[in-house]
Amino acid sequence: MLAYYNRGNAFYDKRDYDRAIENYDQAIRLDNGYALAYYDRGVSYFEKHDYDQALRDLSQAIKLDPKDALSYYNRGITYAARGEADRAIADFDQSIRIDPKNALAFYNRGLALRANGDDERAIADLSQAIRFDPKNALAFYNRGIAYRSRGNIDLSLADLDQAIRLDSKNAYAYYEHGNAL
């Protein structure tokens, strides 16, 4: 079983998602209680934009291992990709409960909150993401936009400046900086 699982990981690393899925299928046939095989197959389906199958596999991984923060996180990402912000937020909530220092879960929950129009909570989550990962240019960028939406131009400009310092090739940050002026 592990040979198929590891070979699936090798194909995943090469971005050969179809062959990765074939090998995860074999691993699951040999041990249908192996949560990691469902998790990695779900992530592979996500990469192929097959969100329905990704959700099925990630949900099965959670059923088998309900304390795995990454399964909740990636299912949240999948819900967000489908435009289901409320369900994404719920999964990010659970991921953060399990792993309270997961910068990416805070970042993506912040994006989902912004998508729901809750800039105040989005700013709080993006601030947490920055606290845990101060080099995350996109967190500064998105928090800058949220600050601007709330009318706080000075904080917006400061965040957009920092986003540009961290990633000088982010054309959107320059554009949003100009809009904030």
Beta-carbon count within 10 A of 95 CB: 26
Is residue 62 within 8 Å of 71, Cβ to Cβ?
yes
Please tell me the predicted confidence (pLDDT) of residue 181.
80
3-state SS assignment for residue 84: coil
Q: Top-level CATH class of 135-181?
A: mainly alpha
> Three-state SS for 178?
helix
| Ramachandran class of 99: left when φ > 0, alpha when ψ lies in -120 to 50, beta otherwise | beta
State whether residue 50 is helix, strand or coil.
Answer: coil
The pLDDT of residue 180 is 79
**pLDDT mean by block of 10 residues, the chain; 181 residues:** 95 98 97 97 98 98 98 98 97 98 97 96 98 98 96 96 97 90 80
Instruction: Report the pLDDT value the prediction gives residue 21, as an integer from 0 to 100.
Output: 98
The reported pTM is 0.93
Rounded distance between C-alpha atoms, residue 67 and residue 11, angstroms: 27
| Domain residue spans of the chain | 135-181
Q: What are phi and psi of 33, to 5 degrees?
A: -105, 10
Query: Amino acid letter at 7?
Result: R
Buried b (16+ CB within 10 A) or exposed e, 45-78: bbeeebbebbbebbebbbebbeebbbbbbbbbbb
pLDDT at 28: 98
d(CA 119, CA 110): 8
DSSP 117: T
